[in-house]
Structure 1
């Protein structure tokens, strides 16, 4: 559990910030795709799923 220091009002939730960043990247990718839907492979690439798993195997 992280507690903000006494007198400080700013608390950073690094997990939430990372999720917000990934959502932003998905929005940008979807916007760039125009009328087309993003494929599952494209979404995995934007979210860096293979990097997180530590391999380059496609999702099944």
Structure 2
């Protein structure tokens, strides 16, 4: 019978850790809110919704400025 080694074998799920962190941030925001519930705008702000979209738009502008714009289309015009 083989036994797994005792230490140093922890596996980290980075997606799960990120989700746990976001849930914690939501809990903190909800407990600090004077309202009965967080507004959708407040939730979006805590979860940083839109930041990723803004970063993607900035990357697209950079690609376009370098002449490497890709529209995602089939290439037919």
- TM-score by shorter chain over 0.5: yes
Question: Which residue number corresponds to residue 40 of structure 2?
Answer: 40
Q: Which has the higher contact order (CA 8 A, sep 6+)?
A: 1
Match of 1:21 in 2: 21
Structure 2's unaligned 5+ residue stretches are 1-6, 56-77
- Structure 1: which 4+ aligned runs deviate by more than 6 Å? none
TM normalised by structure 2 equals: 0.56
How many residue pairs match? The answer is 49
Across the aligned residues of Structure 1 and Structure 2, the Cα RMSD in angstroms comes to: 1.7
Describe the SS at the equivalent of 1:10: coil
Larger radius of gyration: 2
Q: Which segment is superposed worse, 43-52 or 7-16?
A: 7-16
